[in-house]
Structure 1
């Protein structure tokens, strides 16, 4: 990982592990603080379109969300302390709702890290199964499932995931994502 000392440690040290401690439980107050962090995300016209379906390990909601995960995610996500589905209404031509949901999930993720927890966001799940299984109203879409929990032992993961777990956290250079003047012209900060 390239060091960026100007960044807050909560951002610099954040990562998306797959190794979760299967014994550790999430305290209800901690879960509330994570959801409060999401609740206070910026929102155009204060619409607050985000909704969350929260399952704590071993409850029925967790089991239902787990069952909707893609098989590859099921190999590790069952050890998380919580599985949280991030949902928002879908309105044709509305580009802000998904953006705002992302902001809320981002704030939840940073709060989790501040609490000593980790979040792994997943797109590999059956959104229709989530909607049907939990009575999600028409017009809402499940965008992501978040595994939240305490870091576990990498050695307990399947071998092919162990390598990914210890790989360096990499990001594109700033010159490839921030432009000025015209597309592809790197920002000269």
Structure 2
């Protein structure tokens, strides 16, 4: 259990497993380390995400804190993210392969759902992390060219985000602007997001 309790005021509109409302994205991490096996457990959850044609387009390049790749990934982040992400136990680059070979095809074709499917894999990581007592925070504020170079991203692949993984730490170490946001944020009511029938 965290030494820095946060009040979670999230309330689901319908009955769901609490892992969904317990999941949130802190920025204040402790110095706790993660083992490679613990990290691979999170990526194992991603491996079982659904995908079109079972193409499994998601790809991951990861670094534990202290690994040679860790600092280059930090260096690719926007300045505000560099204020907190270096304390993460691990960083993971999430990418996808842009092509697939459907059943019966003799050559790869463009995969129009590679981003959609990789999003499902990312969600599995986030949920497994919450279930396992870890926290994850996805970062889109990065220099994608710099990060892609750092991981030697192959051709015909697309980098989507970095994720920081760790245990929660002391929010007081964050800059004021970030500390004020260090709590589970709300969601729009389901009736604003889903309609029975046509949108308009």
Fold-level similarity (TM above 0.5): yes
**In structure 1, C-alpha distance between the alignment counterparts of 2:176 and 2:11, rounded to whole Å:** 28
1:79-94 to 2 correspondences below 5 Å: 79-90=87-98, 94=111
Task: Indicate if the aligned counterparts of 2:10 and 2:21 stay in contact, CA closer than 8 A.
Answer: no
SS of 1:124's equivalent in the other structure is coil
Selected match of 1:175 from 156, 180, 191: 191
Selected match of 2:77 from 29, 51, 69: 69
1:30 is matched with: 38
The structure where helix makes up a greater share of residues is 1
Alignment gaps of 5+ in structure 2: 1-8, 100-108
Measure how far apart 1:133 and its partner are.
2.2
Question: Which structure is higher in RCO with an 8 Å CA cutoff and minimum separation 6?
Answer: 2
TM-score, normalising length from structure 2?
A: 0.86
Alignment gaps of 5+ in structure 1: 185-189
TM-score, normalising length from structure 1?
A: 0.91
Q: How many residues align?
A: 182
Cα RMSD (Å): 1.6
1:116 is matched with: 133
Comparing 4-13 with 155-164, which one deviates more in the overlay?
4-13
Task: Indicate if the aligned counterparts of 1:81 and 1:147 stay in contact, CA closer than 8 A.
Answer: yes
**In structure 1, C-alpha distance between the alignment counterparts of 2:193 and 2:55, rounded to whole Å:** 29
**In structure 2, C-alpha distance between the alignment counterparts of 1:45 and 1:89, rounded to whole Å:** 13
